[in-house]
Structures are given as C-alpha cells and as structure tokens.
Chain A
Amino acid sequence: MAEQKTNKQNDKKITLNITTPRGVKFTEKADMIIMRCIDGDLGVLSGHEPVSAVLGDGILRIKNNGIEKKLAVFGGIAEIDKRTVNIFSTIAQPPEEIDLERAEADLREAQATITEKAEEKHVQGLHVLIHRSMVRIQVSMHPGEIEYFDEDNEDEHKKDKADES
C-alpha cells in the first residue's frame, strides 16, 4: 500500500490531532500511527493518500522516535491526509486518564451478567462493555512509553539516545 511507497521519507513526520467533545485533546507529531478501524488495523505513515475511515473500539498506537504511546479510542472517524491525521471520537483516553479499578470492575460485572441474561439487545451492549474494559485495561497496563524495535531506525535511534544522555 501507500505506506511502502513512503517508507523512505521517514524523516517526515505526520501530525495527529484528536478532537473529542471536550475540545482538541491531543496534538502530536509521530512517525507512524496505527489505529483500529471497524474492519481491522490501519497503519499510517506520512504521505498517505487522503482517506476517511470509520474507527472501531480499540487501541490507537502512536510511534515516535522509537517510543510507542497507546490510547484507548472508542468509535468515531479518522480523516487522513498527506501530513495530518484528524481523529474525531467521543472517547479518547490516554493511560493516565483510565481508572483501572473501574475498568476491571466493569469487566467482571459484565462477564457475570452476560451468562445470566439472554436478552439479545442487552448482550450486545455487554459485549461492547467487555471489549472496551479490556482495551482500557490493556492500555493502562502500559502507562509508560514503551520502546519498540524498529529495524530501519535502529541506528538513528541509538544516536538519538546517545545525544540525549
């Protein structure tokens, strides 16, 4: 796909804007953004063709300078352009905003009630809740920024680190 074509322009970064009903929540430059669409993951690098996509419930991963950040994003749409990705979603939570205990409690409760009740509409809602709490838990399990292994960028990455120290 278009990602391969633009792999060589890795020095160019892509700007991510996340807008929620509480205002523009998140603006960041990144090397790569991986988002969960309704039919699977979509990875975006700088220079992507203009696409608008429907997002599902899942983890949004932002890779930048060898560091990966995770956000829980539930629903909404993404508008991808050459240099920018605009995400409009009702819920977008970074790990520090997630209440882990509540997510775990939600998960337990939903799993307990799903076996008891059989109403179809209700079950659907519970499945959504289970999935969302799992995503929340997963995101908050990695509160720090994780380093990931990037073959292309490895040397550069080491250099960066050396510069920093």
Chain B
Amino acid sequence: MGSRKDIKQRIANVSSVEQIIKAMDMVASTKLVKARAQLNGVRPIYHELKRVVDELSSRMDAHSHVFFKEREVKNSLYIILTSDRGLSGSYNTNILEKSFEHMQGKNEKIFVVGAKGNEYFKKRNKNIIRTIVGVADAQVYYFSESIAKWLTDFYLSGEAKEVFIAYTHFENVLSHTPIIEKLLPVATRTMDNTDLSDKKYEPSIDVFINHVVPLYLHMNIFRAFSESDTSEQAIRMVNMNAAGKNANEIIDELTRIYNRKRQAAITQELSEIVGSANILNKGGLK
C-alpha cells in the first residue's frame, strides 16, 4: 500500500466516481417512473388488440388473408431492441444472446435498434439491413408507427417471410425477461367452437383485417419499446444502486487504512519522543 498521500488521492477518486453513480441512479429512477407510466398506458390497448387479432385468427375466413397465411420460410426478419448506452448490467447481453441463439439455422435479416446491438451483430458478421440509433424518448410513439408501416410494406413485398421481435419484458424492477415473439404471420388457430364465427365485421372482414393488423403492429412495437425502455432504466437503477454501495464500501475500507497509517505514524513519533526523553533523563548518551 502506498503512502498516506496516495490513499487520500484514491479516496478522492472513488468519491468523485460515487457522485457520478448517484447522479446516474437519480436519472435512471426518474426515467423509470416516466417509462413505467407510458408502459402502463399502452398495455391495455395492446392486450385488447391482441385479443381481437386472436379472435380473428380463429376464424376460417381470415386464414387466407396475407397477414395470417403461413408462407414458405426463406428468410426471417428480426427486430431487436437494445440500448444505446452501457452500464446497464446484463440487459443487452441477455437479449442479444437469446436472439443470436434463436436465429441459428435461419436466413436472417436484422433490423437493430440501439448501438449495442449494432456492435454485437457487426462483430458476428450478421446480415444487418437497417440500424437505428438514438431515438429520443418523446419520439418513440411516431417512431414505432413508422416502423410498423415500413414493416408492413417489407412483409407484403415478400422480402421477409416471417417477422420476429426481440425485447425485454418488464415484470417488476428486479425481474425482466428477454422475449422473442413472432409478429407476422399472425399465428392461426383452428378452433372447434363456432360461437365466435357469427360475429360480424364492418364493412368486411378483409377491410377490417387491413386496418386492425397495422394498428396492432404499431401498438405491439410501441409496447415492446416501452417494455425494453422500462427494463433498461430499471436495470440501470438497480445496478447503479449496487455500484453506489460498492463505492461506499471501498471508501470505508480506504478510510480505515488511512486512519491506521496515520495512527501508526503518530505512535511511532510518540515512541520516538518518549524514547529520546528517557535517554535524556538518564543523563543523555555517554
């Protein structure tokens, strides 16, 4: 261990880092509150639309529609939501590894959101067709609308035969799970109960599907964004909290060492003084 001056310097360093950590913690927790409010707003409409689309998918007359029809899979589009910034623990690694595993053996096209995801897939030489970095929080809604439109066109033009979205589902502050969900084609179900099929659609079922599915995609993408964003802020907050605790521990430890050294120096000085005084009292060195 270095001199007292060195230790003092280290304590100063660690405390300045601690200040930054505390600031990031505060930022993450305010952002978390906002993100959570947005997420809680979008979840109901998403679930309702999902129910409507599920209902449609159990109808035989909807199965022939392009959004529901299973096609021969030649290539798959992945929309992967990651963060632009680090210091969010295992958030990016979890979702990236899961999607990397998922796309094994598929002819993948990747649409990646966030700088971290872009880096990851570039390193692994994957086929990235579009990257978006630095979406402002306030723009997410319109942004997901434009993605939904782009996605619909992309899908209809046949460039991708199936579409997956990878996001991090937010359960609570401490638990989040990476999820890969199939967006298109919408899974069809064959159901035996016929009481659903007497339901009518205005003006016709095809027009209805043409309107509902893009709206559903928009809400789904917007929700996935909100889920990911909320998880990111929650993970960052938890991590920064832990980092703050660690910094405190280091400071405590360093202070203890510093005090011990100081005490040792004082004791040494004292014993030197006492020693010399004793010698002088005995009449000095002869």
> Which A residues lie at the B interface, using CB under 8 A?
19-24, 37-39, 42, 49-54, 75-77, 79, 86, 88, 90
Given A52-B202, A77-B215, A21 contacting B207 (CB threshold 8 A): no
Contact A86 B41 (CB under 8 A): no
Bound-complex Cα distance A53 to B208 (A): 7
Contact A49 B200 (CB under 8 A): yes
Bound-complex Cα distance A77 to B45 (A): 11
Whether a CB of chain A sits under 8 angstroms from the CB of B211 is yes
Q: Which residues of A contact B198 (CB under 8 A)?
A: 50
Given A21-B219, A76-B215, A54 contacting B41 (CB threshold 8 A): no
Query: Which chain B residue lies CB-closest to A42?
Result: B202
Contact B200 A51 (CB under 8 A): yes
Bound-complex Cα distance A39 to B200 (A): 15
Determine the interface band of chain B, counting residues with CB < 8 A from chain A: 20 to 34
**Selected contact of A19 from candidates B48, B202, B208, CB within 8 Å:** B48
Bound-complex Cα distance A50 to B55 (A): 13
Q: Which residues of A contact B200 (CB under 8 A)?
A: 49-52
Bound-complex Cα distance A20 to B42 (A): 7
**Selected contact of B215 from candidates A22, A50, A90, CB within 8 Å:** A90
Produce 1/0 per residue, B170-214, CB < 8 A to A: 000000000000000000000000000011111100011001100
**Selected contact of A50 from candidates B52, B199, B203, CB within 8 Å:** B199
**Selected contact of A77 from candidates B44, B203, B208, CB within 8 Å:** B208
Bound-complex Cα distance A38 to B202 (A): 9
Q: Which residues of B contact A21 (CB under 8 A)?
A: 41-42, 45, 141, 219, 222
**Selected contact of B211 from candidates A19, A23, A54, A86, CB within 8 Å:** A54
Bound-complex Cα distance A51 to B222 (A): 27
Interface SS of B by simple majority:
helix
Whether a CB of chain A sits under 8 angstroms from the CB of B49 is yes
Contact B44 A54 (CB under 8 A): no
Whether a CB of chain A sits under 8 angstroms from the CB of B40 is yes
Q: Which residues of B contact A88 (CB under 8 A)?
A: 45, 48-49, 52, 215
Contact B202 A53 (CB under 8 A): yes
A-B CB contact pairs (8 Å), 21 listed: A20-B45, A21-B41, A21-B42, A21-B45, A22-B41, A22-B42, A23-B40, A37-B202, A38-B207, A39-B202, A51-B199, A51-B200, A51-B201, A52-B201, A53-B202, A54-B212, A75-B211, A75-B215, A86-B48, A88-B45, A88-B49
Q: Which residues of B contact A53 (CB under 8 A)?
A: 201-203, 208
Nearest 6 A-B pairs (CB), nearest first? A53-B202, A23-B41, A22-B41, A54-B211, A19-B45, A51-B200
Q: Which residues of B contact A20 (CB under 8 A)?
A: 41, 45
The smallest C-beta distance from A50 to any residue of chain B, in angstroms, reads: 5
Q: Which of B41, B141, B198 has the most CB of A within 10 A?
A: B41
Query: Which chain B residue lies CB-closest to A52?
Result: B201
Q: Which residues of B contact A49 (CB under 8 A)?
A: 200
**Selected contact of B52 from candidates A37, A42, A51, A79, CB within 8 Å:** A79
The smallest C-beta distance from B148 to any residue of chain A, in angstroms, reads: 11
Q: A21-B222, A50-B198, A53-B201 are in contact. List 13 more A-B contacts (CB 8 A).
A: A37-B203, A51-B199, A51-B200, A51-B202, A52-B199, A52-B202, A54-B203, A75-B215, A77-B52, A79-B52, A88-B45, A88-B48, A88-B215
The smallest C-beta distance from A153 to any residue of chain B, in angstroms, reads: 27
Bound-complex Cα distance A34 to B199 (A): 20
Contact B207 A54 (CB under 8 A): yes
Q: Which residues of A contact B215 (CB under 8 A)?
A: 75-77, 88, 90
Query: Which chain B residue lies CB-closest to A22?
Result: B41
